[in-house]
Amino acid sequence: MKYDVIIVGAGPSGIFAALELIKKKDIKVLLLEKGRGLKERIELIQKSEVRSQKSEASPTLSGWGGAGAFSDGKLTLSSEVGGFLSRYLDEKELAGLIDYVDSCYIKHGAPQNTYGTDTVEIEKLKVKASQNNLKLIPTRIRHIGTDRCPEVLQNFKNSLEERIEIQFNKKVESIILNGSKVSGVRTEDGREFTSDFVILSPGRGGADWLDREYRKLGLIPLMNPVDIGVRVELPASTLSFVTDIIYEPKLIYYSRQFDDQIRTFCVNPYGEVVQESADGIFTVNGHSYTAKRSENTNFALLVSTSFTKPFNEPISYGKYIARLANFLGEGVIVQRLGDLLKGRRSTPERMKKGITVPTLKTATPGDLSFVLPYRFLANIMEMLKALDKFAPGVCSEHTLLYGIEVKFYSLQLKLTKSLETEIPNLFAIGDGAGVSRGLIQASVSGVMSAREILKRLN
């Protein structure tokens, strides 16, 4: 079972690595994915079987397209947000690759129109943000939409399936070395696949596995801050003066009490809040569509904090917080901001009195102060107050907070400029490797690793 290149993970980074590799004729590429094909993933989610998926790969995070298959499909066309590839590329190189992968998305069905091009209005918003201790990072956004993402990803699969070998339900257990170099992978069912080049693209759902495997190989990962917070839902009219211009405003705030960074993430104008599942842990996320609209806008508020020695397992810490919310709420908890400020839990009766109607119907009314550590809760409340000055109404008692939202990509590996690990010919890309935090930079990382491998193969 010898291949020229093996790719582990069929998220956007793995897909774009494969798209780049097939530019070489007669190349033998194997793509292994622990999850299912796109059609099977959609069927599982439609049957509401996510809650029962405790031992299998989560259909919302794993499978063809990775977590991006059921995201709202925002392509952030900026080098400033969405990842850390500026550590490895200069600004011109990164901008060029962003344009390149963006053109690939358009070729495979992404819409032509973009948001965030009205520079005059954006400058006004930046001034207003700075007056309230907020930093607004303007970005061009191409919005695919949650409903259109599967179609675009299917088009990518159509471009690849006759040129490479794709195997689903193949969970990679370990990396095989030959001396100091990589020589292949071993799957959970005991099969071995060999290659002189391996690209690890585990995505958000595989970051924990990559952390364990990396340590097993005797390599010490660096650590990104852990991102933990809540998803905020409020009437769309509250933020429409921003979202109609930028679509996804990237707002950053530094708390006075702890000097921690709090940021908005994954803003979904006229969207809905959704529940995700991974390893039996239920977290919260947001979607927005092209064909339908709700009356609400939702966004995440994430607190970034770094741990110091001796603790070095931020992913496990994030999972612990999420499990605590699940324990108290039997899933995702929702709370009215007014109830949180009054020191009381939300109840079904109090929720019915609210003006903001929750779009996630399965969330349990509860009290997030029993879940979030004081530092995180204090930081979130500080930023909500700053946002309320920027956009009056954010701190309404009817604003809803869902918990917990946590991003499992705290791992960061020591990598070369082509994203090669300390093990020769072993590359690590995408969100799971800590180099990206969004579709565009994940896709770019796939191109970077593939181009380096093509140089060596030639």
pLDDT digits (tens, 9 = 90+) for 316-356: 898 899 999 999 998 999 999 999 999 999 999 999 999 99
Residue-wise DSSP of 21-59: HTTSTT--EEEE-SS--HHHHHHHHHTT-GGG-SSSPPT
Confidence category of residue 205, pLDDT binned at 50, 70, 90: confident
Confidence category of residue 52, pLDDT binned at 50, 70, 90: very low
Question: What is d(CA 412, CA 33) in angstroms, rounded to the nearest whole number?
Answer: 21
Please, is 311 exposed, middle or buried when counting C-beta atoms within 10 Å of its C-beta (0-12, 13-18, 19+)?
exposed
Domain chopping of the chain, boundaries:
2-109+144-222+412-457, 225-407
- Average of pLDDT values for 211-236? 88
- Supply φ then ψ for residue 334, to 5 degrees: -125, 140
Question: What is d(CA 335, CA 398) in angstroms, rounded to the nearest whole number?
Answer: 9
Q: How far from 172 is each of 32, 200, 381, CA to CA, in Å?
A: 8, 10, 42
Confidence category of residue 224, pLDDT binned at 50, 70, 90: low
Confidence category of residue 44, pLDDT binned at 50, 70, 90: confident
The pLDDT, as a whole number, for residue 206 is 87
> pLDDT tens digits for 276-290?
887 788 999 999 998
What is the average pLDDT value for the chain, to the nearest integer?
A: 92
Task: Specify the range with the lowest mean pLDDT, choosing from 109-113, 306-310, 353-357, 409-413.
Answer: 409-413
The pLDDT, as a whole number, for residue 218 is 86
Task: Specify the range with the lowest mean pLDDT, choosing from 67-81, 133-147, 183-197.
Answer: 67-81
- Average of pLDDT values for 375-400? 98
Residue 68 is given by DSSP the state: G
Third-level CATH fold of 2-109+144-222+412-457 = FAD/NAD(P)-binding domain (3.50.50)
Confidence category of residue 55, pLDDT binned at 50, 70, 90: very low
The pLDDT, as a whole number, for residue 57 is 65
**Nearest-5° Cα angle at 307, 403 to 67:** 45
Residue found by looking up tokens 């010898």 in the block: 2
**CA-closest candidate to residue 67, choices 259, 266, 228:** 266
Question: What is d(CA 94, CA 81) in angstroms, rounded to the nearest whole number?
Answer: 12
Question: What is d(CA 341, CA 457) in angstroms, rounded to the nearest whole number?
Answer: 61
The pLDDT, as a whole number, for residue 315 is 79
For helices 149-160 and 12-21, angle between their N-to-C axes, nearest 10 degrees: 30
Residue-wise DSSP of 171-208: -EEEEEEETTEEEEEEETTS-EEEES-EEE--TGGGHH
- Average of pLDDT values for 201-206? 88
The pLDDT, as a whole number, for residue 409 is 66
The pLDDT, as a whole number, for residue 225 is 73
Q: Is the pLDDT of residue 50 over 50?
A: no
Q: Is the pLDDT of residue 235 over 70?
A: yes
Confidence category of residue 22, pLDDT binned at 50, 70, 90: very high
Q: Is the pLDDT of residue 51 over 50?
A: no
> Where is pLDDT greater, at 291 or 154?
154
> Where is pLDDT greater, at 208 or 121?
121
Percent of residues, the chain, with pLDDT higher than 70: 97
> Where is pLDDT greater, at 314 or 212?
212
